[in-house]
Each structure stands twice: as structure tokens, then as C-alpha cells.
Amino acid sequence: DGPSVAIVGVTGAVGQEFLRVLKERDFPYSRMKLLASARSAGSMVEWDGETHTIEELTDGSFGGVDIALFSAGGSISKKFAPLAAEAGCTVVDNSSAFRMSEGVPLVIPEVNPEAMAGMRAGRGGIVANPNCSTIIALMAVTPLHRASRIKRMVVSTYQAASGAGQAAMDELELQTREALDGRPITQNIFPFQYAFNLFSHNSPMTGNGYNEEEMKMVKETRKIWGEPDIAITATCIRVPVMRAHAESINLEFEDSLSEEQALEALAAAPGVSIINDREANRFPTPLDASNRDDVYVGRVRRDISRPGNSGLDLFVCGDQIKKGAALNAVQVAELLL
Ligand code: 2RA
């Protein structure tokens, strides 16, 4: 029978999505263990026709567990993922804790499954789930890179509230109601109004003027593609959208790739849907992508600021909680079976 599975951080937005996706994909688990902080331990969860009691996460939680899906923040992963791996459990970690660690594969199943070749459920090890904005960009850009090598990538992201957790989604809704009613705005999550506003991504600033979210895009892309020298820059913005990220991407090729060639590569790409109707002026929106598995690509056009077909612009939308986190992690877990 199938692997025994544990979910660490089951009460969070991604933890809840793990449960939905495991069910949707009929993941062949034999036992399910729901782990969270002491605060949530003891509460019951109806899932897959059974009542499950949430258990407190402890050092000994992973005995007999074959696969553990983590999404409880970097400090929890740093503390417990190595313990789980030592107990023989194979960890799929959605946090950023081990993404850049030597020997830890950073995997998007449609892009670089070979990076985790040989890993199996119940044989220990850690696989890192990339950052959501990296996954969404690379689902669309990798097929193009494989059709014609990319020299430089410029990404501007428009990131949903869900990336900052359920509390940020709740606050966006509350502030929107308050703003429409002309009431004072409740501000707990971000130090500025979120409703009817947008702002530089809330991750910490680093030494070079880029924030951590932008540097994740740069570093994770280089690791996933195995291209330490590829030129990448990113600007990450938080926008008042619930759960799907949007990203504007400009590519410069070493040689060239025409719009037709790009659309052909995208049409053949797994996990990618195209919305690119110029006559109807219809292109991807976050609401097209919300709660969907695929990333949605459109606005595919030759970059008129470059000679010939050496440049291309495109626009991508993807569900941050699903393909940006929980779905990608479950697809990684499927590669462990
Ligand atoms: C964000 N990438 O959207 C983060 C989520 N982990 O803020």
C-alpha cells in the first residue's frame, strides 16, 4: 500500500491546499498525519471521509512517516526537516530554508524532475519547493529557453495577498469593506493601506537594493536551470488581488525566437494554458488562474526594442497557493512514489 504522509503546517493557507490537492489527485497515501503548533493540536479536521485530529509537531513526529509536506515557515523547516529526514522520512519543503542548500534539489516537476532522480518516499532526504513567483515564471519561460537559449530575463511581478498568508487575504477583504464604507482602515499586516493600493513586496530589503523576493527569483532560476551566469533582474510588487500572481516578463535570446515559435513551444508545454486573443484583446487575468492548476500565458509579442526576433515579451498568471506552492509540492511527492 501507499506511503504514510504527514503535513506540517496544516492550518495555514498552503497546508489547507495540500489537503485539497492530495484529494483532487487521489494521492495514494496509506496514512495521513496532520501536524501543527500546540495551539492547533487537538482540533479535528474532516478530510477524505475521515475525522483527523491535529497533532502537535514534535521531534518524534516523523517515525514511520514516508513523506512529509512542510509549509510552516523557514524556522520550523530548519528545525524539523532534518530530524524528519534522519528518521527516514522524505521531506518536500515549501519554505525557503533549504532551497539554495548544496545537495538539496530545487524542483518544478515540469521543468527539472531529473534534479531529484533516485529519491524515493521513505528513504530520507529533502526536496525544496521553489518560491511561488519563481515557479509561475519558469513554468512559462523554461519551454522558451529550451527552444532558444535565453541571455537575459527581466521580470515584474504583481503578487497576490495569499503569498503573505491567510491573514493578509483577510485583511485585504476587511480593508476593502472599510474603504468602501468610508471607515478607518485596519492595518495589522502591512504598514500601509493595501486595499485600492499596491506596494514594493513586503520581504526584507537586501544589501543591493533588491528585496528577498526579487533575489529568490534570480538565485532560484539559476539553480533550477543550472545556469549560474544567466542575466536576471526582478521587481516584485504586492497588489490587491486575492490568490493568483501575475508577472510581466521580457526575454532576450542569445539568438532569436519568433512569436510563432514561442506560441508553438508554449502550446506544447505541460501545465501551461494560452490566453492570447489579440482581436478580442483577451489575455490572462489572476481570476482566470485562481484555483486552477495551469499557469496562463498571453501578450506574447516580439520585443520591438530589440533587433529581429532576439527579444520577446509575455504576461503570465498563476495561482500562488496551488501551482505556486501546494500543487507543485504534491507533484514533487508524486515523483517520490
Ligand atoms: C509571497 N513568495 O508571495 C511569497 C510567498 N511565499 O509573498
What is the arithmetic mean of pLDDT over 131-137?
A: 98
Does 1 score more than 90 pLDDT?
no
Question: Is the C-beta atom of 159 inside 6 A of ligand 1?
Answer: yes
Q: Which of 159, 236, 328 to mutate to test the pocket of ligand 1 (most atoms within 8 A of CB)?
A: 159
What is the arithmetic mean of pLDDT over 215-225?
A: 98
pLDDT of amino acid 234: 98
Rounded to whole angstroms, the Cα distance separating 316 from 324 reads 12
Q: Structure pTM?
A: 0.98
Residue-wise pLDDT tens digits, 226-284: 999 999 999 999 999 999 999 999 999 999 999 999 999 999 999 999 999 999 999 99
What is the arithmetic mean of pLDDT over 174-192?
A: 97
The share of the chain scoring above pLDDT 90, in percent, equals 100
What is the arithmetic mean of pLDDT over 327-336?
A: 98
Does 124 score more than 90 pLDDT?
yes
Active-site annotation, residues: 132, 245
Taking alpha carbons only, the member of 155, 130, 128 closest to residue 141 is: 155
Q: Whose CA is nearest to atom 1 of ligand 1?
A: 163
Q: Whose CA is nearest to atom 6 of ligand 1?
A: 163
Q: Whose CA is nearest to atom 5 of ligand 1?
A: 163
Does 212 score more than 90 pLDDT?
yes
The atom number, within ligand 1, closest to the CA of 325 reads: 6
Residue-wise pLDDT tens digits, 29-73: 999 999 999 999 999 999 999 999 999 999 999 999 999 999 999
328 CA to centre of ligand 1 in angstroms: 14
Q: Whose CA is nearest to atom 7 of ligand 1?
A: 163
239 CA to centre of ligand 1 in angstroms: 12
Q: Confidence class of residue 136 from pLDDT cuts 50, 70 and 90?
A: very high
Question: Is the C-beta atom of 164 inside 6 A of ligand 1?
Answer: yes
